[in-house]
């Protein structure tokens, strides 16, 4: 009895091995058209251009946030920003990413990617307690847009706000992360929601499940071939610095729909590239997406069995957990930057520049901490602690920070906080993130030197004595 059993298990192991390696390094798509009764000429069922359009709207919105001249053009800038946030009847120009020397981009307007898309409709609408005023996520974003438009180049030196960073990092969570983990990888995986034995919509060349999954992948923002690139290459593609790595089909231009790396994926690669270099967020998330998509394709247009959906749920869990970690890693990194910036401010050299960098990094820190709170999970006490430690604004050199916002959108600076105390808060934020999310990369770890020394000194538990 033992022998055949052994054979069966080794066969399974081999199959699992072959099955696993068969896909390794394989791009996201093309996948065949499986939808029953489709009569068109499409051969690839992968489609997520709507999500790419939203990434482009987001990148452009961030750029637009810096167009204010201190108040005179506030209405104009706000209208421009709202066009990208709410979408527009007109075909909007892509402000970012645009072609630059050595990195030509194929599309120059949003409609060339996908028509009729917006950010606001897909924005987190739950309560956002990380921001003053008891507002919903989308209202916070609208308020930030208004304040950005009235500022000088998106910067508020009194309260220490960098609006472009705040809006952008918050959006990475409130739109992309939220839509993926709280919608497409959540209720859309239910049996009766967007079933696999029907087209996603009338006449579509993809099934309900295929397209739902693709949309989640689209929000992640990786290039279809990102898995064959190193973290450094993915990072460089996003920075528009590595044409060769980006240009998967070799036609000399970058197709934003498939060849570019957007925000969430950029930060996954960034975490892998920096810090302790002991994470593989990009590969892990990408592979889960691709393998999940291959699983759906293998159903060949039939409804998914419970077992298949369970497997899919499993991939979705991997994606969600790791995606959340990339946001925690980014929050961690910028808490470390803020800590270092305070040293620079205290040193008194080039104070204006030091403060500008401080506000920028704080905006990224705050934005990512809000992104973390826009997902499916209620972070509970961890969120309350994090929001208290980071506050509603950075501690400023006068020892005060934002404590509230009034009905007219004016900040109240009523909380006492010295720069020294705020540095301690940053250390505590980092510790909280390690304890809550178990992150490993830990770029800009402000107490890394302590840990390294402790490691060197060795543990004290011993049973020896004189």
- As measured in angstroms, the least distance from the Cβ of 430 to another protein is 10
Min CB(450)–another protein separation in Å: 5
Subset of 131-160 contacting another protein (CB under 8 A): none
Q: Least distance (Å) from another protein to the CB of residue 431?
A: 7
Q: How far is CA 95 from CA 67, 68, 323, in A?
A: 12, 15, 27
Of 210-218, 312-320, 321-329, 450-458: span binding another protein (CB under 8 A):
450-458
Would you say 378 or 462 has its CB closer to Zn ion? 462
Tokens representing 49? Answer: 């251009």
Q: How far is the CB of 379 from another protein (least distance, A)?
A: 22
| Other C-beta atoms lying within 10 Å of the C-beta of residue 28 | 24
- From the list 227, 86, 194, the residue with the least C-alpha distance to 185 is 194
Residue among 349 and 464 whose Cβ is closer to Zn ion = 464
CB of 366 to another protein, least distance (A): 21
**In 348-395, where does DSSP find H-type helix?**
351-372, 381-390
Is residue 461 within the footprint of another protein (CB under 8 A)? yes
β pairing state of 404-405 and 400-401: unpaired
Measured distance CA(111)–CA(94) in Å, rounded:
9
Of 250, 433, 207, nearest to 326 (Cα)? 433
Q: Under the criterion CB under 8 A, does residue 5 sit at the interface with another protein?
A: no
Q: Does 459 bind another protein (CB under 8 A)?
A: yes
Burial of 438 (0-12, 13-18, 19+ CB in 10 A): exposed
Q: Considering beta carbons, is residue 77 or 429 the nearer one to another protein?
A: 429
Give the separation between CA 437 and CA 324, rounded to whole angstroms: 8
Binding of Zn ion by 466 (CB under 5 A): yes
Residue 459's binding partner among another protein, Zn ion, none (Cβ under 5 to 8 angstroms by kind) is another protein
**Length of the chain in terms of residues written:** 466
* 9, 17, 18, 256, 312 from 13: Cα distances, Å: 6, 6, 9, 39, 21
Mark the segment that binds another protein (CB under 8 A) among 71-79, 216-224, 317-325, 451-459: 451-459
Binder among 16, 239, 424, 438 for another protein (CB under 8 A): 424
Q: Which residues pair with 136 in a beta bridge?
A: 127
Nearest distance, CB of residue 240 and another protein, angstroms: 34
Q: Going by C-beta distance under 8 Å and a sequence separation of 6 or more, which residues neighbour residue 121?
A: 87
Task: Assess contact for 50 and 214: CB atoms under 8 A.
Answer: no
- Exactly one of 1, 2, 18, 453 binds another protein (CB under 8 A); which one? 453
Residue in 317, 343, 398, 435 binding another protein, rule: CB under 8 A: 343
**460 binds another protein, rule: CB under 8 A:** yes
Binding partner of residue 99 among Zn ion, another protein, none, CB cut-off 5 to 8 Å per kind: none
Residues 341-370 as x/- pattern, contact with Zn ion by CB under 5 A: ------------------------------
Q: Which of 69, 187, 420, 435 lies at the binding interface for another protein (CB under 8 A)?
A: 420
Q: Which two tokens stand for residue 352?
A: 């204006």
Q: Between vectors from CA 67 to CA 112 and to CA 86, what angle results, nearest 5°?
A: 45
Q: Which residues bind another protein (CB under 8 A)?
A: 343, 418, 420-421, 423-424, 427-428, 431, 447, 449-451, 453-454, 456-466
Q: Which residues are at the interface with Zn ion (CB under 5 A)?
A: 466
């Amino acid at each position: 009895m033992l022998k055949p059993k052994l054979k069966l298990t080794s066969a399974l192991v081999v199959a699992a091995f072959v099955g696993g390696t068969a896909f390794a390094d394989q791009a996201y798509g093309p996948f065949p058209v499986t939808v029953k009764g489709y009569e068109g000429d499409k051969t690839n069922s992968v489609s997520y251009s709507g999500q790419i359009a939203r990434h482009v709207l987001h990148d452009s919105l961030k750029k637009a946030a810096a167009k204010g001249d201190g108040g005179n053009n506030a209405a104009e800038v706000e209208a421009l920003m709202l066009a990208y946030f709410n979408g527009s009847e007109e075909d909007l120009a892509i402000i970012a990413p645009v072609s630059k020397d050595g990195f030509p981009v194929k599309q120059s307007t949003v409609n060339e990617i996908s028509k009729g898309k917006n950010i606001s409709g897909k924005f987190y609408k739950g309560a956002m307690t990380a921001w003053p005023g008891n507002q919903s996520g989308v209202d916070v974003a609208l308020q930030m847009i208004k304040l950005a438009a009235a500022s000088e180049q998106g910067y508020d030196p009194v309260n220490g706000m960098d609006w472009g960073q705040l809006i952008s990092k918050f959006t990475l969570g409130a739109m992309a992360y939220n839509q993926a983990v709280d919608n497409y990888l959540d209720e859309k995986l239910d049996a009766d929601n967007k079933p696999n034995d029907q087209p996603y919509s009338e006449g579509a060349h993809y099934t309900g499940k295929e397209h739902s999954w693709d949309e989640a992948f689209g929000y992640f923002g990786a290039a279809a071939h990102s898995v064959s690139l190193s973290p450094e290459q993915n990072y460089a593609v996003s920075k528009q610095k590595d044409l060769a790595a980006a240009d998967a089909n070799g036609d000399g231009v970058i197709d934003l729909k498939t060849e570019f790396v957007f925000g969430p994926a950029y930060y996954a690669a960034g975490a892998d590239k920096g810090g302790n270099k002991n994470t593989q967020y990009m590969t892990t998330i990408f592979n889960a997406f691709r393998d999940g998509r291959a699983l759906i394709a293998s159903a060949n247009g039939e409804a998914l069995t419970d077992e298949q959906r369970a497997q899919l749920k499993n991939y979705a869990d991997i994606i969600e957990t790791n995606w959340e970690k990339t946001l925690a890693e980014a929050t961690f990194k910028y808490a470390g930057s803020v800590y270092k910036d305070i040293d620079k401010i205290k040193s008194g050299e080039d104070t204006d520049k030091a403060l500008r960098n401080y506000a920028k990094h704080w905006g990224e820190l705050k934005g990512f901490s809000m992104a973390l709170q826009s997902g499916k999970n209620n972070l509970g006490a961890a969120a309350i602690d994090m929001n208290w430690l980071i506050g509603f604004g950075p501690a400023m050199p006068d020892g005060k920070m934002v404590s509230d916002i009034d009905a007219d959108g004016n900040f109240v600076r009523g909380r006492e906080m010295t720069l020294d105390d705020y540095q301690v808060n940053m250390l505590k934020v980092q510790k909280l993130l390690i304890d809550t999310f178990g992150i490993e990369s830990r770029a800009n770890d402000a107490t890394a030197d302590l840990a390294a020394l402790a490691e060197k000194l060795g543990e004290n538990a011993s049973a020896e004595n004189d």
